[in-house]
Structure 1
Amino acid sequence: MTPTEFRARIATLTAQLAGRALDADLDAWLNREHGAESPTYRELKAACEAGVAAGWLCDREGGGIRYGRIFKPADDLHGFSVDVVDMADIAGPHHVHPNGEIDLIMPIDGDATFDGRPAGWLVCPPGSAHRPTVAGGRALVLYLLPQGRIEFTRD
C-alpha cells in the first residue's frame, strides 16, 4: 500500500459521502454498508496498519498520541481532509468540528473503543465537540473532516 493507493481508496469512499448530511442517518448507513465486517473496513484497516508500519501515516507524535494529516482537502477527496491517529488508553485534545467529522474506529489490540464506540464508524455532526478518547487498548482512528475544519479548544 502506498499513499497514492490509499488516496484512491479513500476517494472511492468519499464519493459516496459527498453532499450527505453528517448525522445519525449517515452513521447508520456507514455502519450498515461499510461496517466492521465489510470488505471496505478490512481494506481500510489493512491500509492504515501498513501506512503506520511504513512510516507515512501517524508520522508525528505529541502527548502520547501518534498522528498526522496525510491529505489536505481536495476535489478528488470531495472536500475532505484525511487524518489518522494511533492512540492507546488516552484522551486527546478537546476540539470542535465546525463542519462535522467522520471517524473510522479500528481497534488494534484489546477491545479498544473510541468515545465508547467499538470497531466501525462514528459520525459527529457539525458543531459537535469532544475530547477523543480511546479506552480498552490501542486503536487507529481515521478522521474525514469536511474542508479540513477542526478547532482545538482549551477545554
Structure 2
Amino acid sequence: MNVEHFQQLIKPLTDMVSQMPVDKELEKALTEQYPPGSELFEAIDKACHEAISAGWMCAQGDAGRRFGRVIEPSDETGRLSVDVVDLIDIAGPHHRHPLGEICMVLPITEGALFDGKPRGWCVYEPDSQHRPTVTQGQALILYLLPEGQIEFTR
C-alpha cells in the first residue's frame, strides 16, 4: 500500500462525495452505498492500518493524537483533501469546516465513538465547527475536506 494505491482505492468515495452537497443526505447516501461491513469500507479500514504501519499515514503528533494529510485536493480527488487521525480518548483542537467535512469513523477499540457516533459515516455541513472527540477507546477517522479547507480556532 502506498499513497497512489490508496488514492485509487478511495476513488469511488471521492467521486461520489465531490458530486453531492455536503449535508445529511450525503451521510445517508454514504451509509447506504458504503456501510460498515461493505467491501470498500473494510478495504479502506485495512489500508489505513497498513499505511500507519508503513509510516506514511498518521506520521505527525504524539501518543493519543496522531494525524496527517494523506492527499492534497486535486482534480483527481474531486477537489477533496484526505486526512487521517488516530485518536485515543481525547478531544482534538476546535476547528471550523468552511465547506464541510465528511468523516469515516473507524474504531480500533470495540465501542469507541467519534463525536458520539459509532463505526460508519458522519457528515458536518458547511460552516459547522466542533472539537473532534473520541471516547471509549481508540479510533481512526478518515476525513475528506472540500478544497482542503479547515480553520483551526482558539
**TM beyond 0.5:** yes
Aligned to 1:23: 23
CA distance in 1, matches of 2:148, 2:63: 22
| Secondary structure, counterpart of 1:31 in structure 2 | helix
**Structure 2: distance between partners of 1:112 and 1:44:** 18
Distance 2:115 2:22 in 1: 17
SS in 2 for 1:17: helix
- The superposition leaves residues 56-91 of structure 1 with CA deviations (integer Å, 9 ceiling, x where unpaired) of 100001583100001110100000000000001100
Q: Which residue is equivalent to 1:34?
A: 34
Report the Cα offset of residue 11 of structure 1.
2.2
Offset of residue 33 of structure 1: 1.1
- Kindly report the root-mean-square deviation, in angstroms, between the aligned alpha carbons of the 2 structures: 1.1
Match of 1:91 in 2: 91
**2:134 is matched by which residue type in structure 1?**
V
Tell me if 1:4 matches 2:22.
no
Deviation larger for 58-67 or 32-41: 58-67
Alignment check: 8 A CA contact 1:104 1:141 kept: yes
Aligned partner of residue 6 in structure 1, secondary structure: helix
Contact 2:102 2:122 in 1 (8 A): yes
Alignment length (residue pairs): 154
1:133 maps to 2:121: no
Deviation per residue, 1:34-62 (Å, 9 max, x gap): 11121111011001011111111000015
1:148 aligns with 2:154: no
1:114 aligns with 114
CA distance in 1, matches of 2:99, 2:44: 23
Counterpart amino acid of residue 128 in structure 2: S
Gaps of 5+ in 1: none
**Equivalents in 1 of 2:103, 2:6: separation in Å?**
16
Query: Is residue 2:102 matched to residue 1:76?
Result: no
Segments of structure 2 that go 5 or more residues without pairing to the other structure are none
CA contact (8 A) 2:105 2:122 kept: yes
**Structure 1 stretches of 4+ moved >2 Å:** none
Q: Distance in 1 between matches of 2:101 and 2:89?
A: 21
Q: Percent same amino acid among aligned pairs? A: 45
Contact persistence 1:11–1:78 (CA under 8 A):
no
TM-score by length of 1: 0.96
